[in-house]
Each structure stands twice: as structure tokens, then as C-alpha cells.
Homo-oligomer: A and B are copies of this chain.
Amino acid sequence: MEKYCFGIDVGGTTIKCGLFDTEGTVLDKWEIPTRMEENGSHILPDVAETVLAKIAEKGIAKEEVAGVGIGIPGPVNEAGEVPVAVNLHWGYVHIVKELGALTGLKVKAGNDANVAALGELWKGGGAGCQDMIMVTLGTGVGGGIILGGKILAGAHGAAGEIGHAHVKDNMEEACNCGNHGCLEQLASATGIANLAKKALSASEKPSLMRKAKNVSAKTVFDAVKEGDELAIQVAAEFGNYLGKALAVFSAVVDPEIIVIGGGVSKAGPVLLDYVTGPFREHCFPPCRDTRFALATLGNDAGIYGAAKMLL
């Protein structure tokens, strides 16, 4: 009988690993380094080794393991194939086949942002829901679309790439993707810092933000909490871009809940205040009661979601 499941989250520096029971309780949690050398060819063997070592350490029979779920920073299709994952120095890799052969276990693979979204649906901010949009506000803007409790991968593995939704015309700066005017350029930690820098240089107003050596999204929301006028203006600008974009996304998939995570979400509930207003103003009226929540699993969302893919 299947009693256990592994959840693996491959990042650029470390690989996070979790051993779960089939109810979703984490029984053990550890990390191994991500070895990038030789085109990242050690990554899957290292994952297999640490999984098999854990099975031996815990005296688990292979028949008791439902499988290994793994999240990867790159596009992954339904079959578990990665065409290319720049951040891991990978070309084409068939994760399900390769990791399956290395471990003798059932494997499922997904894009890391999508997998983290599934984790938040299972045990985090979206618990109890089936249909969710997850937004991750970090260095970039990531996303994941969960429908009927399952990750939506998309025809090019690009479903949920909401950071690259076009939200602003005539923007001169280019996004990392090469386009201009992506949501990521305005609502990521970097984007918020840029909005703040522009507001500071365009105004003579005093602001707590002027004291910061490097203005960051945290600088902005810390100042918002102190009632800083210029910071409030920046937060409103950010919230307007993100809230309007989420309203558009809701006209497409109409989720039960929108969960916001990533480093920027550490600002707390005040963040939602700036997003929900513009959302409700611009969404299709029947969607106005769509719930919003903050993510709760932090960096563990990936291992939870990876394990959930098997269960």
C-alpha cells in the first residue's frame, strides 16, 4: 500500500526535498546543492540518489512510495518533457523517463511556479478550493493556473506565464522575455522598486523611502505602513497594474480564489488592499466576489505541490 511520496523542488542553487505521507504531512525535509556543471547532467542522478538514500534510511519499501514529484524552473509539458531549461543549463530532458529509470519509481514533473501553485491549493492559501490563479511576486512575476485541482500546463508549457501578459503600451524598457510592457516589469519586486525610483525622482515630496540606500519593494510597503504619501502612491500604481491584469485573467478562467505569494507578499494583508480595489472595479461583475488570499507555505510550496502531483 502506498504510504509515502517525495516532493522535489529544483532551484538554481539548491534542490529542496520533502518526504510526505499521503495525507500531506511532511515527515522529513532537506536540501542538496544544485550542481550546474556539465550542463546540469548531475541534477537528476543527484535527486535519484538522495531519494533512494532516504528510502534506505527510513526502511521504506519501494511499493510504499507513490512516486516522486519534481518541479523544474522551465517549461514542462504534460508528459514531463522539458524542451530547454536555461537556468539549469539543460537542453531537452525527458524528466519522467530519466528520473523514473534512475529511481524505479513513478515520476511526475511540472514547471516550478505551477507546482508551487498546486502546493498552495493543497495545503496553503488556496486550501479547500479547486480553481485558482496563483501569482508569485518575486524578482519576476510567476504564476500558476489550477483548474479542477490540476495544474494547467498549456500547449507550449506556457500556461500561467502571467508575468508576461502585456499590460502597458509604449514602454521603452524591455522585459527579460524581450517584449515591452509585461506585468513583470511593473508588479515584480524589481518593478515596484522601479516605480518607486521614478516617483521619487519625479517629485520633491519628502518620503521615508528617500532614507533607503537601495529602494526595494520592502522599502515601499514599510513606508506605506507608516502612512508615507509617496509610497502609498507607488503601492496604488502597482495595485492598479496587478488588479486590472487579474481582472482580465478572471474573465478568461474565472477562478474561485486568487492567491498572492513570493517575496513581495511578505508585506502582508496591506498588499491585498491595493490589489482588490482595482480588481473589483475592472472585473466582469459576476466575478466581483472572487476571493483573495496570501500564500502561506513560503519556500515549501514547491515540495508540497510536487508531492501532490502523485496523489
Contacts and interface: CB of A to CB of B under 8 A. Distances in A.
Interface string A143-187: 001010000111111111110111100000000011101000000
A164 B284 contact: yes
Interface residues of A, number: 44
A147 B281 CA distance: 28
Given A177-B285, A179-B285, A282-B179, A255 B155 contact: yes
A256 interface: yes
A152 B156 contact: no
A108 interface: no
Nearest to A162: B251
Most buried by B among A160, A251, A256, A281: A251
Given A145-B253, A179-B282, A253-B145, A154 B131 contact: yes
A185 to B, nearest CB: 13
A256 B158 CA distance: 11
Nearest to A240: B169
Nearest to A251: B165
A254 B147 contact: no
Nearest to A164: B284
A308 interface: no
Each complex incorporates copies of this chain amounting to 2
Contact of A164 (B162, B164, B251, B281): B251
A154 B131 CA distance: 8
Contacts of A286: 75, 156-158, 161
Given A147-B147, A147-B152, A166-B244, A251 B158 contact: yes
Contacts of A147: 147, 152
B254 A156 contact: yes
Contact of A145 (B181, B252, B282): B252
Contacts of A167: 248
A95 interface: no
A90 interface: no
Contacts of A285: 177-179
A290 interface: yes
Interface of A: 75, 131, 133, 145, 147, 152-162, 164-167, 177-179, 181, 244-245, 247-256, 281-282, 284-287, 289-290
Given A161-B254, A165-B248, A166-B282, 13 more contacts: A154-B253, A158-B254, A159-B253, A160-B252, A160-B254, A161-B251, A165-B247, A166-B248, A177-B284, A179-B281, A181-B282, A248-B248, A252-B252
